[in-house]
Amino acid sequence: MASFNSARRAAGLLLALSDSESTSSDSSSSSDDDELCVLYEGTFKEMFPVPPCARLKIIGYVEEVVHAYSEEEFRRNFRVSRAVAADLYNDFGASLIYPRCDNGGSPAKTAEEHVIAFLWYAANKACIRDVAGRFGLGETTAFRVTERVMDYLVELGKTVIAFPDDLQGPSTKFEQLGHTHFYNDLPKPAMAVSAT
């Protein structure tokens, strides 16, 4: 029904425009033309509203809200302690993955904003749009921020997670743990997972 009314108003607007063009300029005054233009402009704006230029964002969320969180609230929201998050963003800021702001344009987001936004994304299973709005970022920027931190964590994982060179030793230890009937019935990989 709404599209029918819009179409009817658009047809009326076009008809009025064609009528005003067909009348002679002698018979109409300039004030009548001005009134019609204002009327047409108002009708046009009503029929074709201009979308908002920018999405609403929370400005200063990290500085004003996150910094005010208690340790317990911080851990609830980000699933890590404040000290672990601080270590992460200090190390991330010193890494080669963190972008340097020396090319002009908007100032780069801080390493803290990068890590806190990523932690929110990962800990709360939030969508990029939610992260963008909450942390005052554009959606593309929020995507890039989370991608940078993920790249950093993958690189960090290579130095933190180590697999033993000798896999027979841990396998023997897991077999020794399998002294109960339950563990003896499991295949070795499942036994290793259940014993960790």
Q: Does 26 share its domain with 90?
A: no
| 26-to-22, 31, 69 alpha-carbon distances in Å | 12, 13, 73
Q: Hunting for tokens 């942390």 — which residue is that? A: 135
Tell if the pTM clears 0.85, that is, is over it: no
Q: Does 179 share its domain with 138?
A: no
Q: Does 104 share its domain with 174?
A: no
Q: Does 156 share its domain with 92?
A: yes
Q: Does 70 share its domain with 152?
A: yes
CB neighbour list of residue 79: distance below 8 Å, 6 or more residues apart: 119, 122, 123
Task: Say which DSSP state 109 is in.
Answer: P
Q: Does 97 share its domain with 136?
A: yes
Taking the alpha carbons at both ends of the chain, their separation in whole angstroms is: 64
Establish if 86 belongs to a structural domain: yes
Establish if 196 belongs to a structural domain: no
Structural contact between residues 108 and 83, judged by C-beta atoms closer than 8 angstroms? no
State which residues form the domain around 24. Answer: 2-47
Per-residue model confidence as pLDDT tens for the chain (196 residues): 555 566 566 666 666 666 555 554 545 566 677 777 777 777 777 777 766 666 778 889 999 999 999 999 999 999 999 999 999 999 999 999 998 776 666 778 899 999 999 999 999 999 999 999 999 999 999 999 999 999 999 999 988 877 777 777 777 776 676 655 555 555 555 445 444 4
C-alpha–C-alpha distance, residues 135 and 144, integer Å: 13
Query: What is the number of domains present in the chain?
Result: 3
Establish if 39 belongs to a structural domain: yes
Q: Does 69 share its domain with 124?
A: yes
Output the six-digit token pair for 25.
Answer: 């300029």
Establish if 55 belongs to a structural domain: no
Q: Does 132 share its domain with 152?
A: yes
